[in-house]
Amino acid sequence: MKLHILGCYAATPRTLTNPTAQVLEIKNHMILIDCGEGTQVQLRKHKVKFSRINHIFISHLHGDHFFGLPGLISTFRLLGRDKELHIYGPKGIKEVITLMLKLGDSWTNYPLLFHELTSKEPELVFEDEKITVETIPLNHRVYTNGYLFREKLGERKLNIEAVAKYKIDKCYYQNIKNGKNITLDNGELIQNEVLTFDPATPKSYAFCSDTSYLPQIIGQIQKVHTLYHESTFLDSEAHLTTKTKHATAKEAATIALKAEVGTLILGHYSTRYKSIEMFKDEAMEIFPNVELGEDGKVFEL
Amino acid sequence: MKLHILGCYAATPRTLTNPTAQVLEIKNHMILIDCGEGTQVQLRKHKVKFSRINHIFISHLHGDHFFGLPGLISTFRLLGRDKELHIYGPKGIKEVITLMLKLGDSWTNYPLLFHELTSKEPELVFEDEKITVETIPLNHRVYTNGYLFREKLGERKLNIEAVAKYKIDKCYYQNIKNGKNITLDNGELIQNEVLTFDPATPKSYAFCSDTSYLPQIIGQIQKVHTLYHESTFLDSEAHLTTKTKHATAKEAATIALKAEVGTLILGHYSTRYKSIEMFKDEAMEIFPNVELGEDGKVFEL
């Protein structure tokens, strides 16, 4: 799994900082999460092969999380895309994108499929053989979901020495990787564990932005490998979180601690702060494994 | 008059080129013309004091001319704007912007006033003491207007030596600048021309993008000081103009020649060309006074 942070600042795009957008590479999927203004330029700048994006997950309909989406959809058209593009986001996203395309008489020449969300409970919104995606209902000024991406448990790994020792024919390998035991020609039963190793532990990534401090999510994101949690403010500005429904670095770290996650990545910094190092310092007083999201940074998860 | 080119490329924003947006400084007005994605970042990057923008003119509702508008409107809100903002553009612009603000529950805390355009004839859409703005109906794939900005004839300039010679009291100066003659205490009538110089010749600027070659506009833009005319293609790609309803550099220059304009500025270049110098070369074969629009370039008109 690889995470490209394209933008991780709150509110407005500026000369050197970008609003929220990130690309998650997971099991051959390239998934775009949020799409603030300028995302298509960030994709180009950081050489992300964005024609491979088939799924876009939008957290909420504030401008700094989706004003780049109409432009990206148009650019896909201009680049001659013909593959389906799936967009997940709050109800209303289909109406506004459709209106923009209609006003410009610029309908896509590829299938544009909307999956509008309204549930206030977590729901499975995408699943294939390799991954699942669930919503994480958040608490913000408008209807907002985080997203939880999980790899599925893969095939067991073949123990090449063991299958050679028992002279097992290759045609049985797929069954063995699927967990089957094998009976040899002499009638001997070989247990699967002898012929395989455990598959890699499936990884998981939770994206939680924007939200106020919300302990209700702790159960759902328990023990995820990586949590991206917004930290718009430092604790010194905690009084601003009530009205804005954002969180502090301290609160993000508290969620990470209670959910026993592997790594916490911070982001969605208010542009009032001159340096983001203080966010890491504040979070690390509570939780040890903290990384700072930064525009252009790539995390190997 | 000063023209800041923020973006002058067609289709999609890229790492080093921007879609259409420009700021015209005219008689204390700071006017934004078109607003492609990323315009607010271009405004910051080129240090345009964009809080001074009170009027935005949108030519048409293709993404490369207005997808930056929702973000700019939101940013004005976040910066605490309280002044009116007037937006001129094709019918539909109010509906889509209003829907975006509604979905984000992010209504502006300043008056946002839409002036929707539907006429296919030139019309006066703005006038104050100093300037006028008329639409220039263009021919593109969707309803499109260029805009013609004209300074009004200013006050006559006081001839300081002459008013001193006749010992005219300062309280008459405004009347003199307004063109009045003066009768001295001894009954002598002094003609205004003796006391004043002619005012500066009013300047004019015509913005024409996007459009196919359209000789009908020549009358309206006759003898403007500066014409910005789109030149999406070179003559070698002239066959593409029929379907796309764009113009070539040669066609832009032909319009400039026939309209006897002062200077032609080219722009809206297709991103297929590696260099834009060829646009100037092609245009100068027809019209001598050609400038290349370039992102970040400022023209003193």
Question: Which tens digit of pLDDT belongs to each residue from B245-290?
Answer: 999 999 999 999 999 999 999 999 999 999 999 999 999 999 999 9
Domain boundaries, chain B: 2-154+200-300, 157-197
Q: In this structure, what is the dihedral angle of CA atoms B169, B171, B174, B179, given to the nearest 10 degrees?
A: -50
CATH code, B2-154+200-300: 3.60.15.10
Q: Is the backbone peptide bond immediately before B281 cis, with ω within 30 degrees of 0?
A: no
Q: Average pLDDT in the B4-8 region?
A: 98
Q: In chain A, which residue's Cα lies nearest the Cα of B74?
A: A63
Reduced to 3 states (helix: H, G, I; strand: E, B; else coil), residue B80 is: coil
Q: Does B68 touch chain A (CB under 8 A)?
A: yes
> How confident is the model at residue A287, as a pLDDT?
98
CA nearest to A2, candidates A151, A210, A152, A122? A151
Q: Is A229 annotated as a binding residue?
A: no
Say how far apart CA A102 and CA A73 lie, in whole Å: 13
Say how far apart CA A163 and CA A156 lie, in whole Å: 13
Q: Which residues of A touch B64 (CB under 8 A)?
A: 74
Mutation for testing the A interface, residue in B17, B67, B98 having most A CBs under 10 Å: B67
Three-state secondary structure readout of A256-284: HHHCCCCEEEEECECCCCCCCHHHHHHHH
Report the share of chain B in percent with pLDDT over 70: 100
Q: Which residues of B touch A95 (CB under 8 A)?
A: 99
Residue A206's φ and ψ, nearest 5 degrees, are -115, 130
What positions of A carry a catalytic annotation?
Answer: 64
Q: Does an H or E element contain A22, and which?
A: strand A21-26
Token reading at B171 = 């309280």
Burial of A159 per CB tally in 10 Å (0-12, 13-18, 19+): middle
Do residues A9 and A271 touch, judged by C-beta distance below 8 A? Answer: yes
Q: Do B13 and A40 touch (CB under 8 A)?
A: yes
Token reading at B22 = 């420009």
* More confident position, B200 or B56: B56
**Pairing mode, strands A21-26 and A29-35:** antiparallel
Reduced to 3 states (helix: H, G, I; strand: E, B; else coil), residue B198 is: coil
Residue A217's φ and ψ, nearest 5 degrees, are -80, -10
Whether complex ipTM tops 0.95: no
Say how far apart CA A73 and CA A78 lie, in whole Å: 9
* Nearest chain A Cα distance for residue B146, angstroms: 16
Q: Does B108 touch chain A (CB under 8 A)?
A: no
Do residues A155 and A193 touch, judged by C-beta distance below 8 A? Answer: no
Q: Which of residues 256-295 of B touch A (CB under 8 A)?
A: none
* Nearest chain B Cα distance for residue A262, angstroms: 33
Amino acid identity, position A11? A
A88-145 pLDDT, tens digit per residue, is: 999 999 999 999 999 999 999 999 999 999 999 999 999 999 999 999 999 999 999 9
Q: Which residues of A touch B244 (CB under 8 A)?
A: none
**Pairing mode, strands A298-300 and A290-292:** unpaired
> How confident is the model at residue B82, as a pLDDT?
97
Say how far apart CA A220 and CA A223 lie, in whole Å: 9
Res. B110 pLDDT band, cuts 50 70 90: very high
The length of chain B is 301
Q: Does B7 touch chain A (CB under 8 A)?
A: no
CA nearest to A100, candidates B164, B64, B226, B184? B64
Q: Is B115 annotated as a binding residue?
A: no
Q: In what order do the strands lie in the sheet with A2-7?
A: A112-117, A85-90, A53-57, A29-35, A21-26, A2-7, A298-300
Q: Is A46 annotated as a binding residue?
A: no
Q: Do A104 and B14 touch (CB under 8 A)?
A: no
Size of interface A-B (CB pairs under 8 A): 105
* Residue B128 among the catalytic residues: no
Measure CB to CB from residue A103 to each of B40, B61, B64 and give the nearest one.
Answer: B61
Say how far apart CA A274 and CA A260 lie, in whole Å: 30
Reduced to 3 states (helix: H, G, I; strand: E, B; else coil), residue B211 is: coil
Measure CB to CB from residue A92 to each of B71, B103, B141 and give the nearest one.
Answer: B103
Point out the catalytic residue in the list B34, B64, B281, B295. B64
Q: Which residues of A touch B70 (CB under 8 A)?
A: 63, 67
Do residues B22 and B5 touch, judged by C-beta distance below 8 A? Answer: yes
Q: Does B13 touch chain A (CB under 8 A)?
A: yes
Token reading at A130 = 């390799």
**Helix ranges (DSSP H) in chain B:** 39-45, 63-66, 69-78, 93-103, 160-165, 173-177, 192-195, 241-244, 249-258, 277-284
Q: Do B104 and A37 touch (CB under 8 A)?
A: no
> How confident is the model at residue A232, as a pLDDT?
98
Residues of chain A with pLDDT under 70: none
Instruction: Calculate the average pLDDT of chain B.
Output: 97
Amino acid identity, position A14? R
Say how far apart CA A291 and CA A249 lie, in whole Å: 11
**DSSP states of B5-61 as a string?**
EEE-BSSS--SS---SEEEEEETTEEEEEEE-TTHHHHHHHTT--GGGEEEEE----
Do residues A261 and A227 touch, judged by C-beta distance below 8 A? Answer: yes
B45-68 pLDDT, tens digit per residue, is: 999 999 999 999 999 999 999 999
Sign of CA dihedral A79, A82, A88, A94: positive
Say how far apart CA A220 and CA A229 lie, in whole Å: 14
Q: Which residues of B touch A117 (CB under 8 A)?
A: none
Q: Residue B35 forms beta bridges with which residues?
A: B21
Q: Do A15 and B44 touch (CB under 8 A)?
A: yes
